[in-house]
Amino acid sequence: MPELPEVETIKIELEKKLKNKKLIKIEIYQPEFFKKDSKESLSQLKNLVFQKVTEIKRKGKYLVLILENQALIFHLGLTGNLIILNDETSNSSFYFKKHLILKMKFEDLILVFTDIRKFGKIKLLEKNTLETFLSQLGKDALEISLDEFKKLLFSKKRSIKGFFLDQKIISGLGNIYIDEILFRSGISPLRKTRDLCEKEIEKLYKIMKEVLFRAISLRGSSVKNYVDTKGEKGRFQEEHLVYGRKGKPCFICGNSLEYKKLFHRGTTFCSKCQS
DNA sequence: TTCAGCCTGTCG
DNA sequence: CGACAGGCTGAA
């Protein structure tokens, strides 16, 4: 799933439904999933039981459940989903059972983590190490100021697409939103960040925030697997102008949209409208 | 700073 | 059957 707007949508819902709730039980369905981490963390997950959720945080594409003594970090990878169920029997489709990774039972509801491709991550951290962990990420795309944004763009040699993909520089944007933001800004994904002029940077910054806020208000983009905690799709995909439209006519000039692999990611853009 | 590799599913 | 898909990582 999941780029900033999708994770933010989930964060808002978890905040409403999970805050101050006590964890009653944890069930792990695919222990292999946790093996990439340490084996300890698997058994330590059980220690979360009977703790209350005190806070929900998001930075970039990471979602953090903060409990009384520890913090549980989720990254949804490409196909991770966090779903809230009211009881055991609801929403038990085939898809669901097969890809179930983790179930967390709270007083009056159940939080479930599923992941088809298993690129997602779940990590248990002591609270005092949380800040260190999150500091490996660049500033969140919604938090960053124009000044900081400018400085970062000038300090890197890379193309703008690679710049945005690197979560250590700025966190939260992924393939969909980068392509959408660049198209709306009239900037080619191949442009080097250093060569952008002041005016272009200001436009890019403004559009980045606009696109993200708009996408959050539409509850994210559902291209394939992404759904919110209620299992419902977002609607921002209806406003995609370039993502998933390779070869189709540009909405501005009518030329067919170009498609290139950049940094291993399919990149769609208009070579006429973006320079 | 690239580049497989990690997984599963779907589409042509 | 191969190509491709909202992402990250660790090794060259």
Residue in the block written with tokens 């000038």: A154
Q: How would you classify the pairing of strands A170-171 and A139-140?
A: parallel
Which pLDDT belongs to residue A117?
95
DSSP label of A222 = -
Nucleotide nearest A163 (Cα, C1'): B1
Using DSSP's 3-state secondary structure scheme, residue A72 falls into: strand
Which pLDDT belongs to residue A204?
97
Enter the pTM of the model: 0.96
Tell me, yes or no, if A61 is annotated catalytic.
yes
**Range 256-275, chain A: CB under 7 Å to any strand C atom:** 264-266
Which pLDDT belongs to residue A91?
56
Encoding tokens for residue A37?
């981490």
Residue A208: which of A184, A227, A191, A187 has the closest Cα?
Answer: A184
Specify the amino acid at residue A37: D
Which pLDDT belongs to residue A90?
64
A109 to each of A23, A76, A87, how far by Cα in Å?
10, 21, 6
CA at A222, C1' at C4: how many angstroms apart? Answer: 17
Which pLDDT belongs to residue A93?
56
Cβ distance A117 to A79 under 8 Å? yes
**Range 203-242, chain A: CB under 7 Å to any strand C atom:** 221-226
A176 touches strand C (CB under 7 A): yes
Tell me, yes or no, if A3 is annotated catalytic.
yes
Cβ distance A273 to A253 under 8 Å? yes
Q: How far apart are CA A138 and CA A118, in angstroms?
A: 24
Nucleotide nearest A99 (Cα, C1'): B8
Encoding tokens for residue A142?
């919604």
Tell me, yes or no, if A265 is annotated catalytic.
yes
pLDDT means over runs of 10, chain A (275 residues): 93 97 96 78 90 98 97 96 84 68 95 95 94 95 97 93 96 97 97 95 98 98 95 96 96 96 95 96
